[in-house]
């Protein structure tokens, strides 16, 4: 009896999570009487400026226009978002491509339906007074990192490309909030993160300028965050996936044209939401990452196969994926947005 009670208690959170994907045939009706498919989107992290287009798309009823009643959920890292998407605990995920490659390599049944941030914002971040100018200056420095997140998978590749080894730096494993606190207090020299995320917040709180060693500026450019879903959804809910990709691309296009309103649409999204000034800086930095030379002028979320191959090769060389496959193993081009 005690075993059965413990087993039942253990299953409660699993069953609760399994019910989080609302797109399983459930619908709702908007005030105009239009029937909408309910769908959930789990972000890579707690809301910050990068996510403004999703909130703006909701505020402007862009997702409704495409027949979707969208619920946006905070995430706890790309890896967990991918796991939740593969398990059907969320209908769609917003996650970093390196983590997607690794997840597929581990057998997770997910695919990208479009990478939106086509240049990585990954960076080593530090107060400018640290006088770190090149990757070589990182030797002997203490850097805050979060074990298991997307940056922890890519930093060794960054070091290798720049003639360094993991032994040349000291990594201090902390959670996301702890990383920023460590830099602010001087406990660490720098942190690993997205230049579109922590840097503006640290600069505001520390009241002094922040500088970056951006991976893309130092020999390691690759795809970053994009929209993904389960292979089950790709097979069974093609229409919903098509509409979600189209709505997301339209929302990003609309947000670019009105950054102020896009940021204001995030009001109340999270208790941990940065200030409006920081959100604006984060969003403006993010939109610069939407295209490569091959996709300039195309709709957000349209990818080039050669760019996918470059990203796959980067992580095959770095050992993040041991069995590199063709882009089609990770990405379904058939859902690419039009326009």
- Domain 122-217 annotated CATH 3.40.50.300: no
Q: Is the pLDDT of residue 220 over 60?
A: yes
CATH number of 12-119+223-335: 3.40.190.10
Q: What are phi and psi of 122, to 5 degrees?
A: -55, 135
pLDDT in tens, 20-33: 454 456 999 999 89
Which residues lie closer than 8 Å to 35 by C-beta, 6 or more apart? 27, 28, 29, 67
Q: Please state the rounded mean pLDDT for residues 123-147.
A: 96
Per-residue pLDDT at 18:
38
**If pLDDT is split at 50, 70 and 90, which confidence band does 77 have?**
confident
Q: Is the pLDDT of residue 55 over 70?
A: yes
pLDDT in tens, 152-163: 878 988 998 999
Q: Is the pLDDT of residue 123 over 90?
A: yes
Please state, rounded to an integer, the average pLDDT across all residues of the chain: 91
In 3-state terms, what secondary structure has residue 265? coil
Q: Is the pLDDT of residue 15 over 50?
A: no
* Residue found by looking up tokens 């908007």 in the block: 30
Q: Please state the rounded mean pLDDT for residues 85-95.
A: 98
Q: How far apart are CA 312 and CA 291, in angstroms?
A: 17
The two domains 12-119+223-335 and 122-217 share their CATH topology (first three levels equal): yes
Per-residue pLDDT at 245:
98
Q: What are phi and psi of 186, to 5 degrees?
A: 85, 10
Q: How far apart are CA 231 and CA 156, in angstroms?
A: 30
pLDDT in tens, 169-199: 999 999 878 999 999 999 999 999 999 999 9
**Residue closest to 115 by CA, chosen among 291, 334, 236:** 291
* Residue found by looking up tokens 């491509």 in the block: 97
Q: How far apart are CA 333 and CA 122, in angstroms?
A: 25
Map out the domains of the chain as residue ranges.
Answer: 12-119+223-335, 122-217
Q: How far apart are CA 140 and CA 9, in angstroms?
A: 47
Per-residue pLDDT at 315:
86
- Say what percent of the chain tops pLDDT 70: 92
Q: How far apart are CA 330 and CA 98, in angstroms?
A: 11
Structure token digits, residue 21: 């994907």
Q: Is the pLDDT of residue 57 over 70?
A: yes
Q: Please state the rounded mean pLDDT for residues 228-253.
A: 98
Q: Is the pLDDT of residue 212 over 70?
A: yes
Structure token digits, residue 187: 């406990």
| Contact of 115 with 301, CB cutoff 8 Å | yes
Q: How far apart are CA 327 and CA 255, in angstroms?
A: 29
Q: Look up residue 46 and give its DSSP letter.
A: S
Q: Look up residue 67 and give its DSSP letter.
A: T
pLDDT in tens, 244-287: 999 999 999 999 999 999 999 999 999 999 999 999 999 999 99
Q: Is the pLDDT of residue 17 over 90?
A: no
pLDDT in tens, 294-332: 999 999 999 999 999 999 998 888 777 889 999 999 999
Per-residue pLDDT at 177:
82
Per-residue pLDDT at 25:
64
Per-residue pLDDT at 21:
54
Angle between helices 176-185 and 198-206 (to 10 degrees): 40
**If pLDDT is split at 50, 70 and 90, which confidence band does 10 have?**
very low
Structure token digits, residue 181: 């606190």
In 3-state terms, what secondary structure has residue 293? coil
Compute CA distances 141 → 128, 191, 298, 313, whole Å. 14, 10, 41, 29
**Residue closest to 135 by CA, chosen among 222, 224, 221, 217:** 217
Per-residue pLDDT at 7:
33
**What is the full DSSP assignment across 236-266?**
H-HHHHHHHHHHHHHHHHHHHT-HHHHHHTT
């Amino acid at each position: 009896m005690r075993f059965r009670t413990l087993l039942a208690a253990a299953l409660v959170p699993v069953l609760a999570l399994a019910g989080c994907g609302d797109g399983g045939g459930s619908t709702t009706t908007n005030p105009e009487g239009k029937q909408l498919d309910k769908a959930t989107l789990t972000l890579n992290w707690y809301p910050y400026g990068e996510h403004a287009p999703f909130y703006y798309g909701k505020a402007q009823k862009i997702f409704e226009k495409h027949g979707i009643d969208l619920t946006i959920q905070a995430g706890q890292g790309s890896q967990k978002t991918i796991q939740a998407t593969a398990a059907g605990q969320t209908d769609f995920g917003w996650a970093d491509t390196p983590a997607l490659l690794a997840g597929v390599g581990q057998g997770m049944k997910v695919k990208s339906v479009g990478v939106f941030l086509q240049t990585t914002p990954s960076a080593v971040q530090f107060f400018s007074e640290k006088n770190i100018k090149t990757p070589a200056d990182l030797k002997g420095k203490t850097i805050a990192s979060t074990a298991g997140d997307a940056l922890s998978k890519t930093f060794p590749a960054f070091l290798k490309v720049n003639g360094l080894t993991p032994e040349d730096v000291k990594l201090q494993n902390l959670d996301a909030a702890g990383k920023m606190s460590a830099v602010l207090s001087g406990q660490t020299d720098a942190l690993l993160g997205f230049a579109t995320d922590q840097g503006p917040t640290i600069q505001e709180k520390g009241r002094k300028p922040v500088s970056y060693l951006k991976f893309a500026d130092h020999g390691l450019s690759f795809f970053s965050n994009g929209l993904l879903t389960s292979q089950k959804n790709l097979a069974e809910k093609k229409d919903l996936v098509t509409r979600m990709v189209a709505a997301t691309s339209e929302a990003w296009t609309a947000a670019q044209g009105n950054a102020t309103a896009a940021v204001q649409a995030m009001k109340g999204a999270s208790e941990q939401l940065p200030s409006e000034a920081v959100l604006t800086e984060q969003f403006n930095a993010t939109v610069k990452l939407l295209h490569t030379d091959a996709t300039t002028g195309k709709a957000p979320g349209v990818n080039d196969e050669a760019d996918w191959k470059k990203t796959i090769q980067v992580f095959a060389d770095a050992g993040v994926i041991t069995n590199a496959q063709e882009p089609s193993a990770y990405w379904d081009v058939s859902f690419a947005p039009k326009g």
